[in-house]
A and B are shown apart, each in its own frame.
Chain A
Amino acid sequence: MQQEWLWSDSLINLFTGLGMPKFLAIGLAYGLGAFILANVGLILTLALIWIMRKVLSRIQDRIGPNRVGRYGLFQTVADAMKLLSKEVIRPAHSDMITYDLAPVFSVFGVIMILAVIPFAPGLIGVDLNIGVLYLVALGSVGIMADLMAGWSSNNKYALLAGFRVVAQLLSYEIPMVLSMLAPVLLLGTMRMGEISAAQGLHVLGLNLGFGWLVFLMPGAFLIFFISALAESEQTPFDLLEAESELISGFHIEYSGMKFAMFFLAQFINTFFLGAIAVTLFLGGWQGPFVDNLPAPFSQILGLIYFNIKTFAVYIAIVWIKGTFPRIRVDQMMSFAWKVLVPLVLSLILWEMIALKLPGGAVIQYGAVLVGNLVVIGVVLNILGNHFKREQVRSKRAFEPKTLIGTMRPAPTAETAAAGD
C-alpha cells in the first residue's frame, strides 16, 4: 500500500481550502458523500432491473424490453414514472401505520448496507471497525420490514408470505452470518476495507491482486452464496413471493410507489449481497496493479475491478433465477437446518482449531483449505443426489407405460352408481 487516500479527507481538505470552517467542511463532505452514495443505490436499481429483464428474456428466448429508448434502456425509468403517479390505495382494515412504515424500513435496510461497502481503495462510506457485524445487524431490518408488510396488509396471501419470511429469511440468516465469520477469523478484522486490502498478492513490489479468500475457503463462499440467494429472495428460494402459490407474497396489497420501494429494496439487496460476497471472498477491488498507481488512477481501476466482479455475481444470480425451479418449503427448511447449519458450524469449529495449530502459516492455511474442500464435497454430493432423485422421479412421471398404468379404468355400472 502507498499512502492512505480517503475520499472524505480529500473532500474536507478541498472545502477547508475554499475557506470554510472545519466543522462545516466535515459536515458538508460527509453529507455530500452520503447523498451520492444513496443516489448510487437508487440509480443502480434502474440498471439492475434492466439487466435482469434482458438476461431473463434471452434465457427464455425472448427479446425483452426494446421500445423505450435504445435497447429498452429507459423502460425502467418509464415504469418508475408510472408507479410514481399511481393512486394511493390502502386496503380496508389494514394496520395503517405498520402498512406505511414497512416499505420505508425495507429501503432503509438496504441503503444502509452501502455505507460499509469498499468500492475502491479509500472509497468506502465509513470503514467501521465493526463492519461485518454492522451488516449482520442490518440483515434483520429487511426481515422485519417483510414481516410487517405481511402482517399489516390484512390479506391471507400476505400473511402466509409473512410466515414464510420467518421460516426462510431467519433460517438462512444463520449459515450466512456464520460463513461471514470465516474471513473474520482468518484476517482478525471486521473492517470491510481491511478485508479487501488483505486479499492482494504482492510479488516483487507489484500487486497482482489474486490473493482472494475464495481460493482458501471455497466452502465458506459456497455456503455464503447459497444463503445470500435465499436472503435476496431469488429463485430457487423465491418462496416468499411464489407467484403461482401466493400471487406475489407479502407485497401483494402494495401498489404504486410503495410497491416500487419493495421492488427496489429487493434488487439492491441482491446486488449488495453480491457486493458483500465480492468483498469478503472475491477480493473486493483487488486486481492486477490496483494499488501501484498514483491516487486517482488506482481508485478508478479498483472501481472497475469491483464493478466487474459484482456484476458478474449479479448475472450469475440472474442466470440461476432463469434456470432453476422453485424448491418446496420443507426442502428449503431442511436444507438450511440439516445441511447448511451443521456444515458451517463444523467448518467454523475446524477453522478455529486450524488457525491455532502450531507450525506456521502453511500448515494452518492448508488445514483450512482441506476443511473447506470437504465441505464443498459434502454440499455438492447432497445437491447432486437431490437432483438425481428428482430426475428419476420426473422421468418416471412422464413415461408412457406408467401413465397408462396410473390411468383409472373406465367406470363400470357399479362404480358409476357408487359415485366413485
Chain B
Amino acid sequence: MAIDYLPLLILVIIAIGFGAIAVIGPSLLGPSRQNKQKLEPYESGMIPFADARRRFPIKYYMVAMLFLLFDIEVLFLYPWAVTLRELRWQAFAPMGFFLILLVFGFLYEWKKGALRWED
C-alpha cells in the first residue's frame, strides 16, 4: 500500500524542485538594475501611500467559517459515500440526520442574513 504513494512523493519533489528553480534561477540569470521607483508597489501611476495590509472585512470571515463547516462535512461524507450501497439503515440514518441538521443550520444562517453580501 505504502508503495502506492512513492510516485506521489517523487512528483512532490519534482513539482517543488521546478518551482524552486523557476524562482531562484532568474535572479542568477537576469539583469539587476534596481532603484527606488522600480520597487514601489504599483498603484496605476499614483504615488503609493500608507501600508496596503488592512484587516479583512468581517463578511469574508463568515464565508471562510461556512466553508470550513461544509468542508468538514464533506470530509465525513466521502468515506461514508463509498460504502453507501452496503450500509444498513442503522448506518444510513445518522448521516441523514447529520445532513439535515446541517441543512437547517444553513437555512438559519441564510435567514439571519449571513449570506447577504451588499451592506
Within the assembled complex, what's the spacing in Å between the Cα atoms of A62 and B115? 42
Interface flags for B44-72 (1: CB within 8 Å of A; 0: not) read: 10000001111011001001101100110
Shortest CB-to-CB span from A300 to chain B, Å, is: 22
* Residues in B whose Cβ lies below 8 Å from that of A315: none
Q: Choose from B57, B70, B118 the contact partner of A330 (Cβ within 8 Å).
A: B118
Whether A65 is near chain B, meaning CB under 8 Å from some CB there, is no
Shortest CB-to-CB span from B52 to chain A, Å, is: 5
* Residues in A whose Cβ lies below 8 Å from that of B8: 112, 115, 125-126, 128
Shortest CB-to-CB span from A175 to chain B, Å, is: 9
- A92 with B30: CB separation less than 8 A: no
Whether A123 is near chain B, meaning CB under 8 Å from some CB there, is no
- B25 with A107: CB separation less than 8 A: no
Stretch at the interface among A47-55, A206-214, A255-263: A255-263
* Residues in B whose Cβ lies below 8 Å from that of A84: 25-26, 29
Interface flags for A187-225 (1: CB within 8 Å of B; 0: not) read: 011100000000000000000000000000000000000
Whether A142 is near chain B, meaning CB under 8 Å from some CB there, is no
* Residues in B whose Cβ lies below 8 Å from that of A86: 26, 30
Within the assembled complex, what's the spacing in Å between the Cα atoms of A181 and B6? 27
* Residues in B whose Cβ lies below 8 Å from that of A258: 22-23
* Residues in A whose Cβ lies below 8 Å from that of B71: 173-174, 177
Within the assembled complex, what's the spacing in Å between the Cα atoms of A163 and B53? 11
Within the assembled complex, what's the spacing in Å between the Cα atoms of A188 and B30? 52
Within the assembled complex, what's the spacing in Å between the Cα atoms of A343 and B12? 36
* Residues in A whose Cβ lies below 8 Å from that of B36: 92
Q: Choose from A155, A170, A256, A342 the contact partner of B41 (Cβ within 8 Å).
A: A155
Whether A58 is near chain B, meaning CB under 8 Å from some CB there, is no
Stretch at the interface among A35-43, A277-285, A303-311: A35-43
Within the assembled complex, what's the spacing in Å between the Cα atoms of A115 and B6? 11
Q: Choose from B15, B40, B41, B63 the contact partner of A108 (Cβ within 8 Å).
A: B15
- B4 with A188: CB separation less than 8 A: no
Within the assembled complex, what's the spacing in Å between the Cα atoms of A356 and B83? 12
- B26 with A158: CB separation less than 8 A: no
- B39 with A89: CB separation less than 8 A: yes
Give residues 1-56 of A contacting B (CB, 8 Å): 8, 26-27, 30-31, 33-35, 37-38, 42
Residue count of chain A within 8 Å CB distance of chain B: 86
- For this complex, into which size category does the number of interface residues on chain B fall? 35 or more
Q: Choose from B56, B83, B110 the contact partner of A163 (Cβ within 8 Å).
A: B56
User: Given A84-B29, A158-B52, A177-B74, is A188 in contact with B83 using a C-beta cutoff of 8 Å?
Assistant: yes
Whether A77 is near chain B, meaning CB under 8 Å from some CB there, is no
- B12 with A159: CB separation less than 8 A: no
User: Given A92-B40, A107-B19, is A155 in contact with B117 using a C-beta cutoff of 8 Å?
Assistant: no
- B41 with A253: CB separation less than 8 A: yes
User: Given A132-B78, A188-B83, is A112 in contact with B12 using a C-beta cutoff of 8 Å?
Assistant: yes
User: Given A103-B19, A154-B41, A356-B92, is A125 in contact with B11 using a C-beta cutoff of 8 Å?
Assistant: yes
Whether B94 is near chain A, meaning CB under 8 Å from some CB there, is no
User: Given A159-B52, A173-B71, is A88 in contact with B26 using a C-beta cutoff of 8 Å?
Assistant: yes
* Residues in B whose Cβ lies below 8 Å from that of A261: 19, 22-23
Stretch at the interface among A331-339, A396-404, A408-416: A331-339
User: Given A257-B25, A261-B19, is A34 in contact with B7 using a C-beta cutoff of 8 Å?
Assistant: yes
Whether A90 is near chain B, meaning CB under 8 Å from some CB there, is yes
Chain B residues in the interface with A (C-beta under 8 A): 3-8, 10-12, 14-16, 18-20, 22-23, 25-27, 29-34, 36, 38-44, 51-54, 56-57, 60, 63-64, 66-67, 70-71, 74-75, 77-79, 81-86, 89, 92, 95-96, 99-100, 102-103, 106, 110, 115, 117-118
15 contacts between A and B (CB under 8 A): A27-B6, A84-B25, A84-B29, A89-B39, A111-B15, A115-B8, A127-B4, A174-B74, A177-B70, A181-B77, A257-B22, A258-B22, A330-B117, A333-B115, A349-B100
For the A-B complex with A38-B11, A93-B51 known, give 18 more contacts whose Cβ atoms are closer than 8 Å. Answer: A26-B3, A84-B26, A88-B26, A92-B36, A92-B39, A103-B19, A103-B23, A104-B19, A104-B22, A125-B7, A136-B74, A155-B43, A170-B67, A178-B74, A261-B23, A337-B66, A337-B110, A337-B115
